[in-house]
Amino acid sequence: MIFGRLAPVTDLRMTDLRMNDPRKTIVVTGVGVVSPYGIGLECLQVGLLAGRCCLVPTKDMYPGFEGTTAQVCGLPHQANGASSRYSRSDRLAMVAARDAVANLDCESDTFRESGAGVFMASTVAGLSEIDPGIAEDPAAWYRNDGLARAATYPPAHVADAVGVDLGVCGPRCAISAACASSAMAIALAANMLLDGAATMMLAGGSDALCPFTLSGFSSLQALDPDPCRPFDQNRKGLNLGEGAAVLVLETLAGAAERHADVLAVLRGWAMTNDAFHTTAPQQQGNGLADCMRVAMEMAEVSGDEIGYVNAHGTGTPLNDIAETSAYETAFRGRNRPVPVSSTKSYFGHCLGAAGALEAAITITAIRCGALLPTLRLTDPIESSGVDWLRGEVRRESLPLAMSVSAGFGGSNTALIFGSGNNLS
């Protein structure tokens, strides 16, 4: 039995709030983004719709490393003395969170005393600030300016950085589920709202590029030296990116009370685990298919109603084949193939931030009525159940879309968003 089932709301202008329980309907009232396109949802939207790829040779930014990555440029400088207190992941998160609440009066007592919570995901957190010297003699490394940098290491530091910066003091925690982390942060934040544990939740993820992850994925031979080709028969691996995204989530009742613009409705969410392998996905994609099925059950929608899926789509040989199988299973019986694309082809895989960034992209797709293609997809994996989006942006009305995330350790998360009012 699904106790957290949501009211079927797709267009709030058509909704009689008396018929649906506005306390059980979760809406998105803010989206903040820092991506390789820059700061803000608008520049992400413009970049994606223009089909602009941000991937560049890694050696341009990290000499000695080969491959292709996408970096955030122009991150605002910090005040004097603050730089060592915050990691790059912290800073990306703080900027994204500020962007997400740009329409709120963050300096007001009303906001600060609102009990807003912060759930932030990160896989890198402060690892970007630590170098191999720590392994040789930690005490000496701490004495030599490392103490404050190492303090940014715990994943909870990112959530604390956001919470302290905004002055909010509701429930606060870090979520770690590898590359499904920030989608899971959004799902768990929605649970918190249904529990009445907070009036508003800022949920998302942040991860910085750093030698630790570049080296780690390189050692696993998971990187494509060239711009990645998700779902292509000739795919060779993933590219790493960096960024952060934060969604402001509220109940519909809370949003209505403060006359907030509703950007989208979070209709359903689900989390599963493959319980198969620490790094490889289960080849039939059963865990991911279950995840999508449960999310659709929660949203009370059929597979036919999902107009677009923003895929996990890393570009690794194993992930993409398992994910394709998962779509075939989850959408079996649908009257036409399900449209799917991977936007990691635009700016790489942002690890713990990927799920939240892709949630933001999914909301953008709904708001713009634009189904984004996968770049460089010339020879797609054969599938009768999937409509691979490639070439031009496809324009059509999109009442419902799904964002899918998966990660090392077998974690899967699916989020289903629907259109809200005040869309343009």
Partner 1 sequence: MSSNLSAITGVGSVSPYGPLAGLIPPCRLEPESITAWPTAGLRRAFLVKPFRPASVVPGLKTRRLDRLAAWALVASSLAIQDAGIDLSQVDRSRVAVVFGTGFGCAELTEAFFQSAAASGWRGTDPSPFPEGLANAPASHVALWHGLRGPNITVGSTGFAGETALIQAASLLRHGQADLAIVLAGDTLTRSVYEWYEAAGLLSPGCYNSEPLPQGGGFVPSEGVAALVLEPAGRREARTYAQFSSGRWAAGGRAADAIRQLLGGSAPTLTICAGNGAPCASSSVTVLAREIGGPSAAIVPAQAVAAGLTDAGGLLHLILALSSRPRKGPALLLGTSGDGGFAAVLLELP
Instruction: Looking at residues 186 to 215 of the shown chain, list those that interact with partner 1 (rule: CB under 8 A).
Output: 188, 191-192, 194-195, 197, 211-212, 214-215
Residue from the set 55, 96, 178, 244 that interacts with partner 1 by CB under 8 A:
178
**32/171 with CB nearer partner 1:** 171
Residue from the set 30, 32, 171, 373 that interacts with partner 1 by CB under 8 A:
171
The burial of 73, by beta-carbon neighbours within 10 Å (0-12 exposed, 13-18 middle, 19 or more buried), is given as exposed
> Which helix (H) or strand (E) is 355 found in, with range?
helix 354-368
Q: How far is the CB of 135 from partner 1 (least distance, A)?
A: 4
Question: Catalytic: which of 179, 210, 228, 350?
Answer: 179
Residue from the set 355, 380, 410, 420 that interacts with partner 1 by CB under 8 A:
410
**CA–CA separation, 202 vs 215, rounded Å?**
31
**1/79 with CB nearer partner 1:** 1
**194/423 with CB nearer partner 1:** 194
**293/344 with CB nearer partner 1:** 293
4 touches partner 1 by CB under 8 A: yes
* DSSP notation for 184-234: HHHHHHHHHHHHTS-SEEEEEEEE---HHHHHHHHHTT-B-SSS--TTBTT
63 touches partner 1 by CB under 8 A: no
386 touches partner 1 by CB under 8 A: no
Mode of pairing for the β-strands spanning 68-70 and 240-241 = parallel
Mode of pairing for the β-strands spanning 370-371 and 394-395 = antiparallel
Q: How far is the CB of 124 from partner 1 (least distance, A)?
A: 10
The 240-241 sheet, strands edge to edge: 56-57, 68-70, 240-241
Instruction: Kindly determine how many residues on this chain lie close enough to bind partner 1 according to the rule CB under 8 A.
Output: 80
157 among known catalytic residues: no
173 touches partner 1 by CB under 8 A: yes
Residue 301-340 contact track with partner 1, rule CB under 8 A, x = bound: ----------------------------------------
Q: Contacts with partner 1 in 355-384 (CB under 8 A)? A: none
Could you give the 3-state DSSP secondary structure of residue 148?
helix
Q: How far is the CB of 264 from partner 1 (least distance, A)?
A: 21
Count CA atoms within 13 Å of residue 26 on its CB side.
32
**111/142 with CB nearer partner 1:** 142
Handedness of CA 153, 77, 344, 358 (dihedral sign): positive
Residue 262-301 contact track with partner 1, rule CB under 8 A, x = bound: --------xxxxxxxxxx-------x--x-----------
Q: Tokens standing for 320?
A: 């993409």
43 among known catalytic residues: no
Cross-strand bridge partners of residue 81:
none
Q: Are 70 and 344 in contact (CB under 8 A)?
A: no
**CA–CA separation, 70 vs 54, rounded Å?**
6
Residue from the set 110, 220, 378, 395 that interacts with partner 1 by CB under 8 A:
220
How far CA 358 is from CA of 207, 251, 332, 365, 394, in Å, comes to 14, 22, 24, 10, 18
Q: Contacts with partner 1 in 112-151 (CB under 8 A)? A: 113, 115, 117-118, 123, 127, 130-136, 138-139, 142-143, 147, 150-151
* DSSP notation for 114-143: S--EEEEE-SSGGGGG--THHHH-HHHHII
Number of other residues whose CB lies within 10 A of the CB of residue 14: 8
57 touches partner 1 by CB under 8 A: no
Residue found by looking up tokens 């740009």 in the block: 102
Q: How far is the CB of 278 from partner 1 (least distance, A)?
A: 6
Q: Tokens standing for 417?
A: 């968003």
1 touches partner 1 by CB under 8 A: yes
3 touches partner 1 by CB under 8 A: yes
Q: How far is the CB of 174 from partner 1 (least distance, A)?
A: 4
Q: Tokens standing for 351?
A: 């690890």
349 among known catalytic residues: yes
Question: Catalytic: which of 54, 228, 291, 349?
Answer: 349
**49/156 with CB nearer partner 1:** 156
411 touches partner 1 by CB under 8 A: yes
Residue from the set 43, 49, 153, 261 that interacts with partner 1 by CB under 8 A:
153
Active site residues: 179, 312, 349
